[in-house]
Structure 1
Amino acid sequence: MNTIRCQIKQVTPFNDAVYQIILKPEIAFDFKAGQYLCVIMGDTDKRPFSIASAPDSEHIELHIGAAVSESYPMQVVKRMQESLQNGTSIEIEAPGGDAHLRHESGRARLLIAGGSGFSYIKSIIEHQIALQQKIPTTLYWGCRTQDAMYYETIARQWHNTYPWMNFVPVIEQASAGWDGKEANLLEQLKSDFISLNGYDIYIAGRFDMVGTAREVFRTMGVEEDHLYGDAFAFIK
């Protein structure tokens, strides 16, 4: 990975637990949809976050899940806020990760996001749109509440705009008028699919969720050579 200095252009809370960060790299760098970068907090302290923007974007977008109890990501958000206020820059290392979009594959795609894991999926879908691909793609996004589904509007817009795109929103605690599924994300997937054979599957979210998902998918005929998620490099 390359070390790149970035200016902080924006730090905006989506809700009380997820922040949108917009970075402007001093030099452009190439990356693949679905890769990540590391924010350099210290010589041996480099923290990875999925790149939410598609390749060839002028700015780099991050979605950082940073609830008050989660000091690890919140420390990064605070560093970004201080840099924005002071007009200073931060350093990143990029790009990283092997769970990028296999855009040359013609297999149907199943994209699975838990919470702010949507950032990884957003890069992939926006790149598919830029490539004008029409491969059947289904996105499952699971959150605890509707408020936590911070980019619900854009996901529904994809669903309504592109015939090849199917968005299935899943929340655990639904209120009146909710237009989607009310369930645990993995339980909903088990209910909706008899077999996962034949799919390219991309997944992001909390490591414990991704690890559990892989065990569930093994009972559903998943082809692990076509199961992509950077978490798997850390939870072998």
Structure 2
Amino acid sequence: MTYESLSLARSGQVATLTLTHPKGAFGPATWREVPRALSELGEARALIVRGARAFSVGLDLRATAPLIAPALGDPAKFKAVVDEMHAAIEGLAVLPIPVIAAIDGWCIGAGLELAAACDLRLCSAAARFSLPEVKLGITADLGGLQRLPGLIGRGRTAQLALTGDPIDAAIAERWGLVTEVHPDAQTMYARADALAAQLAALPPKAVEGTKRILADERPHAESLAAAVAWNARHMTAEGLTVPSNKA
């Protein structure tokens, strides 16, 4: 399924959402189309998000400026513009299925904020990550400043966000921003496909419950009780069967 700014493909129970702009730039169409694509995942049990080439250079400022400029100085109008962007990224974050960001090349600004909303992040050795909004007179407002501290810590998030300087794949792995670095894009995409298939084969309610509890920001006791309640509702007798270790 092809849209103006992205495409959605299915292979078995794995779906792949590809940002089709050559640099993965997010224009006005992207924010409208991501929620539409997510609503059409059907029976997919895992989702890969990737770029056609580079993952994403972030917001297409030239295409988006006509929307943003008239709203500057008016908090209500500005919020209405940004709410559409939030709907796309938050919609990705709350999917009940695992989402894998497969990152090659640049992952900048809004692209990094979108990647942070995914469950797992793989990259090629050529990947580069940056949150450069401060250099443009902007405060990142699409969830990166909220999610990144939980992934890489407040200090490292501050280094990214306050300097706007990029980091390479090796540093991203050392910081915990990505879980795997692969030597080239082809190897990385193949690994993303295999990992997505592995996750799609798992019991879906167990995967959904794990995602929900990982995202639960309530106090420890409340989150723990939520995990117990989820299992009480969704655990099956088949799930209690211990697999054989015999070859």
Q: Same fold (TM over 0.5)?
A: no
For the pair shown, which has the larger CA radius of gyration, 1 or 2?
2
Q: Whose helix proportion is higher, 1 or 2?
A: 2
Normalising by structure 2, what TM-score? 0.30
